[in-house]
Amino acid sequence: MDDKLRSGEEISPALVKAIEESKISIIVLTKNYVSSQWCLDELMKILESRKTREILVLPLFYDVNPLEVRHQTNRVRDAFTELSKWFNDDEIKVVGWKRAQKEVANLSGMYLGNWNEPEFSDEIIERVNSKLVNNTYFQVAQYPIGIKSHVQDMKSLLDIENNDSTCMIGIFGTSRIGKTTLAKAIYNSIDSHYEDSCFLENIRETSNKKGLIHLQIKLISKILGGSSQMVDNVDQGITLIQQRLRLIQILLVLDDVDHSDQLEKIVGKGNWFGLRSRIIITTRDRHLLTKHQVLSYEVKELGYFKAHKLFSWHAFNRDRPDDDYVKVINDAMCYARGLPLPLQVLGSSLKGENVEYVTKIVDSCGFHSYSGIEELKDKCLIAEFSDKSLVMHELLQEMDREIIR
């Protein structure tokens, strides 16, 4: 609670901590909101947290029009002018407040307008519940080597602060290069900026097995809620998407597209959705993106040092192994050719063996494999995973490697 603030005080550390630890911030904007230093300081802190922690932010325009806040006109301008008089000597703070007002007004929020208050309250609850329950966070990679720079490049191309148009970008590259992993990382990074979002995985496989109608229904149901959307044919699905989603700001990912029909029947040219919508496509086929006039971004193989680091983390749980393993690492580098998935598989394969293979080896040496393995598992010195692979405790690994060396 901030009701104990006295004149001249800044927002308390407890309130800052509360903002930082929240999953969602609901900002109730009124005509007098910008006349309060503390409200504006809180607003700046919320928007800062949105960028660093990617929390969900929902602005509610209660008795003020969003355009008044965005352009700082009428009552908002008058109230802010009065407040600014007290901070003539602190131009940086005043400029920061102005920027925060414009930024929050550009977010997808809710405007009371002609709603009655009980209905407005119910809609707020529904929106918050939907956001918190349905918000999808993808596990990207155990060791996200090289992903951060790609995400920054993609965010720059997506230009998510531009509210005047939609944007489609295609991520292309060879198989196993990490296109889907990158798409998931971007989705995690910017999902909170959008009113609604949808990640359609395995487009190629799904369209072949279940048809495009299934994907159209999945998109509509994900955005509008419920599973009773009736679509009898692809053309009806197109019409329904255009009619029902044309005003919604949406973040949409189409993963593993391999035919132009999939784009034409699910997203069109991108103008089937509300302004500021962003559509990300992953594909192996650059020509498909060119044909559809989609801006493209190529994911290239990892350079030697990043590939070496990724392999080492998966094989040795650190970024640089002992020099004794140089030959095996170089062999892995040559085989994987900078592709993240082979590097991950090769690295991980040095940490475990199939239980049947281990059993045969132990039995052939005259030992009792079943009782021995079970005893080691009981002592938590080895573990058996669902894929029937046995993995040894890290300390035993290090000791054994040292003995072998």
Nearest to 180 by CA among 327, 283, 73, 308: 283
Q: Which residue has the higher pLDDT, 116 or 352?
A: 116
Q: Do 283 and 343 reside in the same domain of the chain?
A: no
Residue 265's nearest CA partner among 296, 231, 295 is: 231
58-98 pLDDT tens trace: 899 998 888 888 888 888 888 888 888 888 778 888 888 98
Question: Would you say residue 6 lies in a domain?
Answer: no
What's the N-to-C CA distance of the chain in angstroms?
62
Whether residue 98 is found in the same domain as residue 48: yes
Catalytic-residue membership of 42: yes
CA 136 to chain centre: 8
Collapsing DSSP to helix, strand or coil, 385 comes out as coil
Q: Tens digit of pLDDT for each residue in 322-348?
A: 677 777 778 888 888 888 887 877 776
Answer whether 8's CB lies under 8 Å from 38's CB: no
Our count of domains for the chain comes to: 3
**Edge to edge, what strands does the sheet with 110-111 contain?**
24-29, 56-61, 110-111
19 neighbors 49 (Cβ within 8 angstroms): yes
pLDDT score of 222:
83
- DSSP string for residues in 337-355: TT-HHHHHHHHHHTSEEEH
Task: Give yes or no: residues 140 and 129 share one domain.
Answer: no
DSSP state letters, 9-59? PPPPHHHHHHHHH-SEEEEEE-TTGGG-HHHHHHHHHHHHHHHHT--EEEE
Q: Which of 9, 10, 21, 42 is catalytic?
A: 42
What would the pLDDT profile of 156-174 be if each residue is shown by its tens digit?
Answer: 999 888 878 899 999 999 8
pTM for this prediction: 0.63
CB atoms within 10 A of CB 130: 12
Distance, CA of 179 to CA of 284 (rounded, Å): 9
Mean of the per-residue pLDDT values for the chain? Answer: 84
Q: Are residues 65 and 26 in the same domain?
A: yes
Query: Whole domain around residue 20: which residue ranges?
Result: 13-133
Same domain flag for 374 and 286: no
CA dihedral of residues 153, 156, 160, 166 (deg, nearest 10) = -90
User: Three-state SS for 110?
Assistant: strand
**pLDDT 10s digits, 277-310:** 999 999 999 999 999 999 999 998 888 888 888 8
- In this structure, what CATH number is given to the domain that contains residue 60? 3.40.50.10140
Question: Across residues 378-400, what is the average pLDDT?
Answer: 74
Whether 237 shows a pLDDT value over 60: the answer reads: yes
pLDDT at position 265, please?
A: 95
Query: Residue 35 half-sphere exposure, CB side, CA atoms within 13 Å?
Result: 8
